[in-house]
Amino acid sequence: MPTKTPLKLKNDPEICAQKKLAAVIPPSKISPTDNDDTDWAERNEYWLKKTPLKSRRFSRWGKNRQALILTGHGVRLRIDHGTFWVQNGFTHFPQQREEWRFFPGDWRLPSRIVLLDVDGGITFDALSWLSIHEIPLVQINWRGEVTNVIGLSFKTSDSGLAKSQLEARTNGRGLYVAKQLLMEKIANSVSTLRHALPRSWAVDAAMDKLKNDLELVKSHPPANLGRLMGVEGRVGYAYFNAWRVVPIRWKGIDRHPVPEDWHRIDRRASKVGNVYHPNRNATHPVNSMLNYAYAVLENQVRMHVIAAGLDPAIGFLHGSYSGKQGLVYDLMEPLRPVVDRKLLEFVQRQTFAAADFTLLSNGVCRLNPQLARNVVREINVSEDVGKYVGRFVKALNRH
C-alpha cells in the first residue's frame, strides 16, 4: 500500500521561510480586503501553471536556446559541487520553489538569465561560471527598465565600423539610415495593426494614415533629423490611438473592481510621467507589460550590436547622450511593432483579475511577478534582431 507524504510541521524551515517572505509580498492595492492575500497567491499560482512546461527545460545549443527567467524573493545563484545551482524566488504562499542544476558544458544551458524585480544573492564564483559559459545576466526592475547587464562578452568595437558610424553622422549616411529605420518601423506598425487588432474604423484610419506617411517619406524624404522625428511622432500617435478600441477581459471585478480605463487598452503614456519620461511608471496594465517587453527587446538588441562590433553609443535617431546607448535605441525602433504584436496577441488571449496587478498610492501599476515572467517569456525576437543589425551594417557601408 502506498504511503502518504507526511504533512510538514509548523516549524519546518521551508514553511517558516515561505511565511516570512510572504509577509513582505504586497497584496493587490486595488480593492483592499481580508481576501487580498489569498487572491494574490491564487493568481501567482495561476500564472505559474500557465508557464509552458517546455520553457522550464532548455533546448540543445542553437537558435532554440531559451532564457531562464527568475522572479520573487530569495533568488539564489551559486556553485554547488562544481555545478551551477539556481533557485527561483518565492512569490506566494504556499509555493513549490523551482530549482535548476547545470553542469559545465551542459547542452541545456539557457541563452541568458533574466532577473525580474528580485532580491536574493549570487556568489562571485557563480558570476565567473556565467562568464566562462558566456551567459548574460540581465536585471530588470519593477518599472520594466534594464538596470544591469552582466556577463556579456564586451569585445572592443570594430574600429572600421565605429569610424563609419561617426562619419555617417556628418556625411549624410546617418540621415539615410535613420530614414530606413523609420520606414521599416512604419511598415511593421501597419502589419501589427492589420494582424493583431480587430478591424474597426479607428484601425482602418490609422493604417491609412501610416501608409500615407510611409509614401511621403519615400517620395519626399525629410531634409533633416528634426523633420524625420516629426513624422515619427505623428505616426506613433496614430498607431497607439488605434489600440484604444481593444477591450481587456476581466473576471471577478464585481468583488474586486478595477479602474474604468483598465477595461480597454489606453494610450501609451503614464498619467504620472513627464516630458522626458512619458512612459515611465506605467499607470495602465498594458503599458506596464509593454515596459517589460521593451526591456527584453533592449537587451536582445544590445547583445547583437556588441557581437557585430558596433559602438552602441553612436546613434542617429537618438544621438549620443552621456551614458546612453543611442544605437541600441535606434535599432529597437523598427522592432517595437514586432514586440507590440506579440504582446497584443498575449493580452487578447487572457482573462485577467485584479490580483494580477498592484495599484500603488500614486496610481502606478505593478505586475504580479509570475505574470511578468509570462510576459517576458512571450518576447523572443532575437532572430529578428540579428537580421536588422546585419542589414544596418550593410546600409552603413553601402550608401
**Could you read off the pLDDT of 280-299 as tens digits, one per residue?**
789 999 999 999 999 999 99
Grid cell at residue 3 = 504511503
Q: What is the mean pLDDT of the chain?
A: 83
**232 & 351 share domain:** yes
Question: Which range (125-134, 155-164, 182-191, 194-203) has the least confidence?
Answer: 155-164
**232 & 365 share domain:** yes
Selection from 92, 100, 99 nearest residue 46 by Cα: 92
User: pLDDT tier at 165 (50, 70, 90 boundaries)?
Assistant: confident
DSSP assignment letter at 251 = S
User: pLDDT tier at 308 (50, 70, 90 boundaries)?
Assistant: confident
Each residue's pLDDT tens digit, 111-149: 889 999 899 999 999 999 998 888 989 999 888 888 888
Segment 305-317 mean pLDDT: 87
Residue 25 pLDDT exceeds 60: no
How big is the chain, counted in residues? 399
Residue 237's CATH number: 1.20.120.920
User: pLDDT tier at 192 (50, 70, 90 boundaries)?
Assistant: very high
Instruction: Quote the pLDDT of residue 283.
Output: 92
Grid cell at residue 37 = 492575500
Domain-terminating residue out of 122, 150, 178: 150
32 occurs within a structural domain: no
16 occurs within a structural domain: no
CA dist 254 to 46, 229, 250, 354, Å? Answer: 20, 44, 10, 10
The total of structural domains in the chain comes to 2
Grid cell at residue 238 = 496614430
Residue 177 pLDDT exceeds 60: yes
In DSSP terms, which residues pair with 120 in a beta bridge?
75
Selection from 293, 282, 368, 297 nearest residue 50 by Cα: 368
Grid cell at residue 300 = 536582445
Question: Which range (14-18, 143-147, 349-353) has the least confidence?
Answer: 14-18
**144 & 224 share domain:** no
Selection from 158, 157, 160 nearest residue 397 by Cα: 160
Residue 184 pLDDT exceeds 50: yes
295 occurs within a structural domain: yes
Residue 123's CATH number: 3.100.10.20
**185 & 288 share domain:** yes
**168 & 239 share domain:** yes
29 occurs within a structural domain: no
Give CA–CA dist 310/134, Å, rounded. 19
Question: Which range (46-60, 188-202, 250-264) has the least confidence?
Answer: 46-60
Question: Which residues 6+ apart lie within 8 Å of 322 measured at CB?
Answer: none
27 occurs within a structural domain: no
Instruction: Quote the pLDDT of residue 397.
Output: 73
Q: Which three-class secondary structure state does DSSP give residue 182?
A: helix
Higher pLDDT: 340 or 145? It is 340
Give CA–CA dist 268/238, Å, rounded. 11
**115 & 242 share domain:** no
Segment 364-384 mean pLDDT: 91
Grid cell at residue 46 = 495561476
Higher pLDDT: 148 or 334? It is 334
Domain that holds residue 70: 49-150
- β-pairing verdict for 113-122 and 99-102: unpaired
Segment 252-274 mean pLDDT: 86
**234 & 357 share domain:** yes
20 occurs within a structural domain: no
Segment 246-255 mean pLDDT: 93
**269 & 305 share domain:** yes
Element (H, E) at 211: helix 201-219
Where does 282-325 have alpha helices with state H?
285-307
**172 & 301 share domain:** yes
Residue 270 pLDDT exceeds 80: no
Domain-terminating residue out of 150, 183, 215: 150
**141 & 275 share domain:** no
Domain-terminating residue out of 123, 150, 177: 150
**137 & 116 share domain:** yes
**353 & 389 share domain:** yes
Higher pLDDT: 25 or 341? It is 341
386 occurs within a structural domain: yes
CA dist 362 to 68, 353, 358, 365, 389, Å? Answer: 32, 20, 11, 9, 39
Instruction: Quote the pLDDT of residue 321.
Output: 53
25 occurs within a structural domain: no
Question: Which residues 6+ apart lie within 8 Å of 30 measured at CB?
Answer: 256, 257, 258, 354, 355, 357, 358, 359
Give CA–CA dist 371/377, Å, rounded. 10
